Structure 1
């Protein structure tokens, strides 16, 4: 009943109706597009699954990640990285695209990344100038102006009981999952749950192989080291709970808003700090700064994607 009293619900409904009926035009690019998106505001693991897909599909394609570059200090089309080589700083392209560029450069993966508020224009540039032959559209479920060959939507357990903005954190109702080609149930290691929708393919995302990295992004044994933990994520609680589950020694926890820029945050040389890679790339990589990293497992997703792409190319 609450949805029908919510003006935002009608804005979403009308916009989707106009796209569904082709009153609003969508544009198709000349290479396959995989959209990774979600229903809610805040973290559901989109960046992690974009990283996972790039690491697992890089042998098959020259992948171009396409993002708007949330909260970046620039406009227009910018090349974040070309064939794994970083071209810009994080402030001009946004923290998440730069984080991915940093990881791929370290791993030697030849991934290209473009940010543009106009995703159609950014996609065309990635194809014509960078030579990509597969685009991963980051945070793309609500961006309907660009057609996609696969719509993969991530949901977390809280989404099932949440409400639409501004009364809750959902950007769209659960019924919007009818547009999805596949659904990924995230954070199964944290809050396991089951869900199905209209016989859509369902996959489960698990985080595993937790590790602490030093300022050179090398895995270390934390031993008896005691950390000050900090982060600015969509859900900071998960980070802090994970640190406790891993039995890391934490003397203090500091929580910041999502996408915090850390311009007024100074590391004391007498302390050791631990944060996420997304937060850490905004700071100078000093010897007392450490990062919590992990791998993810989504059984069957790579095979599903490759099979579907064979049908679309």
Structure 2
């Protein structure tokens, strides 16, 4: 049984690695200093650019927050998402097309491309090049807003709005630099953010906790702090008619929770109100499922019996769909749990207005 978590409770510091963290910190600080004084150049763009990222290793909810921005903007402006395309089997700049495969662009870009076919999705390790290609190539030159996925450390781009995500369960204020902790750069890196969002908060977070967290984050007056939680948009059959069911569909069922994401713990906590029998089958983040993994999943499902279903994330579903000849037994029992973010403290409209005002100010369009 997974118990309700509290802020910062997933952090583990490897004390014996602190000397290596000190050396790592020296290198990162020198790099940041080079950008701060102009030795290394950050490029600004005339087109509105919104970056979503973090300063930690592991998931902080980047994809659901980028998808939130897509939903907010896609009916107002022509949106493009630019990602690095982590673990993709291609090089250089790639624009997702109708028949583009998951391995060519990576699981998260593939997920967004599948869900939002009217949004441009491109991958490029060099973000400046990617932004220029999106603006200059004939097929994408009508783009009006670019969302950068996981680009907080990519300082060669100077975004118009820099959004930093901080996992409620891995608060950066309690963490340490790699490899002792999970920070990619010193805590001072948060000062570059225009907006800070504490993600994956419990839905019943108390007002006192908000005040304590706000003070602990110690942000500057120019920075804006928000809090979000996870919501689940029903349950979808992955194959067949791809029917959608309410979450009550899970009641009374055994759930084999299949995940290859960085932080599945909050999902397990949230599902406890629907099922008392949740069996986790956890793989590493961005795990590429192999035939031996599929055999192990099938064997586990057969052990658990007919009342069991397999529940997985959209990111895992993107990778599973790329597997040829998936056993029918798995197809018949595979369901997806789509995730959305919800703003707490009635902050949604304030956040939306801030994003829309930025775009209106920096683009000659009517929103």
The two structures have a TM-score, normalised by structure 2, of 0.77
| Distance in 2 of aligned mates of 1:190 and 1:43 | 19
| Distance in 1 of aligned mates of 2:30 and 2:163 | 22
Counterparts of 1:1-313 in structure 2 under 5 Å? 6-81=22-97, 86-105=98-117, 110-129=118-137, 130=140, 131-157=142-168, 158=170, 159-189=172-202, 192=205, 193=209, 194-195=213-214, 196=217, 197-199=219-221, 200-215=223-238, 217-220=242-245, 221-244=249-272, 246-248=273-275, 250=277, 252-264=279-291, 265-266=293-294, 267-268=297-298, 272-284=309-321, 286-298=331-343, 299=348, 300-313=350-363
Query: Where in structure 2 are there 5+ consecutive unaligned residues?
Result: 1-17, 303-307
Cα RMSD, aligned residues only: 2.3
Task: Describe the SS at the equivalent of 2:201.
Answer: coil
In the TM superposition, structure 1's runs of 4+ consecutive aligned residues that sit over 4 Å from their partners are 2-5, 190-193
User: Displacement of 1:152 after TM fit?
Assistant: 0.6
CA deviation string 1:32-69 (max 9, x = no partner): 10000111111111101000000111122111000010
Aligned length: 304
Task: Describe the SS at the equivalent of 1:25.
Answer: coil
| Distance in 1 of aligned mates of 2:23 and 2:262 | 25
Contact 2:64 2:339 in 1 (8 A): no
CA deviation string 1:149-195 (max 9, x = no partner): 01010112322211011110011222111111111111122694523
Query: More deviation in 49-58 or 200-209?
Result: 200-209
Of Structure 1 and Structure 2, the greater helix share is in 2
